[in-house]
Structure 1
Amino acid sequence: MPTGVAIRDAREQLFEAAERVLLRDGPNALTSRAVTTEAGCAKGVLHRHFADFDAFLADLVRDRTARIDRQAAALRERAGTGTVVGLLTEALTELFGSVAVAVVGLVVSRDGLRARLRSSTPTGVPLLTEATVMIAEYLTTERALGRLAADADVDTLAPTLVGAGHLLFADRGGAPPSADAVRRSVDSVVAGAVRTPPA
């Protein structure tokens, strides 16, 4: 492979290549050689941008986790519109319909990676923890708007929703769940808490 050819946005290109390998072949197939081969660049490109492969993987997870912040902001802005069940269904589908499930599998399968990520996610599983915060913040906003019961326990509802969503999407080899299946799961979790605010 050519080594003197500059590639634009090398970090993002390497991240996207890693995602493709992860989605296609799973966490065990994710090596520096697999990533650089997928990206069509020399192996040295990865090592010019990252101290080692675990540093690359940690940055990949942090980058993908940062996307949750953008999704969280958009979800909070939509609070009070549509239905609570509908918005939660969309949020979980967007979250887990992406590479998130594969990233969680990667984090769980690599002790060294989890150790590196403890600085940014001291407890829980990176990505799932941030997703839970996103859902809890949204539910808190809906509770303040009167669309959830005043005593709704968002700190229990949020991890329950994220856990259920993760389980629905966890089968990498199978077809993703239908929107109706996700909606039924969400509805079963929040049905007792959802309220129609007074006009």
Structure 2
Amino acid sequence: MPTGVALRDAREQLFAAAERVLLRDGANALTSRAVTTEAGVAKGLVHRHFADFDEFLTEFVLDRIGRIEIQAAVLRDSAGTGSVVAHLTRALTDLFGSIALRIVGLVISRDAVRTRLRELTGGGVPVLREATRMISTYLTAERERGRIAAEADIDTLAPTLIGAAHLLFADREAASPAPADVEKVVTAVIADAVT
């Protein structure tokens, strides 16, 4: 690999390469060498921008968590329109049909990364915590509009939806669940809460 060539936004180039490796080969294949090979850059580039590979992975996860915040804003803004079940089905399918599911596996498999993330974000399992917050915020917005019952226990509904959807998508060997399967779960979980 040539050295001394300026890279435009090396950080994002490395993150994009890490995402491709993670999606294609899983968390166990995610090494600094695999990332730099995928990015087509010199092997030492990761260590020029990050103290170590765990710091790189931590920053990668934080960057991808930021994408959940964008999804959360879109979901929250949809409150009061369309179908609550349809919005939740789409949000959960988009969330777990993306890199998020693989990031959960990465965080669970790398103790040092999980520890750093907990220190930076305040505990819990990163990605799942943000996803639960996204669903909770949406359900709260719908409750304020009278589309979710005032007595609905959102603090239970949100993690139940995340856990159920996570289980649907977690089998890497099977095809992703059909939207109808996700909708069935969403409908069952929130049946008593929708007004």
TM bin, normalised by shorter chain, reads over 0.9
Kindly provide the amino acid, as one letter, of the partner of residue 22 in structure 1: L
Matches within 5 A, 1:31-46: 31-46=31-46
1:146 corresponding residue in structure 2: 146
Partner SS for 1:119: helix
1:131 corresponding residue in structure 2: 131
Q: After the TM superposition, which of the residue ranges 131-140 and 20-29 deviates more from structure 2?
A: 20-29
Partner SS for 2:123: coil
2:105 corresponding residue in structure 1: 105
2:89 corresponding residue in structure 1: 89
Distance in 2, matches of 1:45 and 1:6, equals 11
1:52 and 2:27 matched: no
Moved over 3 A (4+): none
1:72 corresponding residue in structure 2: 72
Distance in 2, matches of 1:62 and 1:101, equals 14
For residues 91-111 of structure 1, the C-alpha deviation after alignment (integer angstroms, 9 at most, x for no partner) is: 101111110000000000011
1:23 corresponding residue in structure 2: 23
1:173 corresponding residue in structure 2: 173
Q: CA deviation at 1:27?
A: 0.7
Q: After the TM superposition, which of the residue ranges 167-176 and 86-95 deviates more from structure 2?
A: 167-176
For residues 94-148 of structure 1, the C-alpha deviation after alignment (integer angstroms, 9 at most, x for no partner) is: 1111100000000000110011101233221001001001100100110111101
**Paired residues, number:** 195
Kindly provide the amino acid, as one letter, of the partner of residue 44 in structure 1: G
1:12 corresponding residue in structure 2: 12
2:156 corresponding residue in structure 1: 156
Q: CA deviation at 1:174?
A: 2.2
Which consecutive residues of structure 2, in runs of 5 or more, have no partner in the other structure? none
Please report the TM-score for the alignment, with normalisation by the length of structure 2.
0.97
1:191 corresponding residue in structure 2: 191
Please report the TM-score for the alignment, with normalisation by the length of structure 1.
0.95
Partner SS for 2:121: coil
2:118 corresponding residue in structure 1: 118
Distance in 2, matches of 1:51 and 1:35, equals 16
Partner SS for 2:120: coil
Percentage of identical aligned residues:
68
Distance in 1, matches of 2:67 and 2:24, equals 21
Partner SS for 2:44: helix
Which consecutive residues of structure 1, in runs of 5 or more, have no partner in the other structure? none
Kindly provide the amino acid, as one letter, of the partner of residue 177 in structure 1: P
Partner SS for 2:119: coil
Q: CA deviation at 1:35?
A: 0.4
For residues 10-48 of structure 1, the C-alpha deviation after alignment (integer angstroms, 9 at most, x for no partner) is: 111111111111111111111000100000000121111
Distance in 2, matches of 1:177 and 1:132, equals 20
Kindly provide the amino acid, as one letter, of the partner of residue 113 in structure 2: L
Give the alignment's Cα RMSD to 1 decimal: 0.9
Distance in 1, matches of 2:121 and 2:104, equals 13
Q: After the TM superposition, which of the residue ranges 150-159 and 166-175 deviates more from structure 2?
A: 166-175
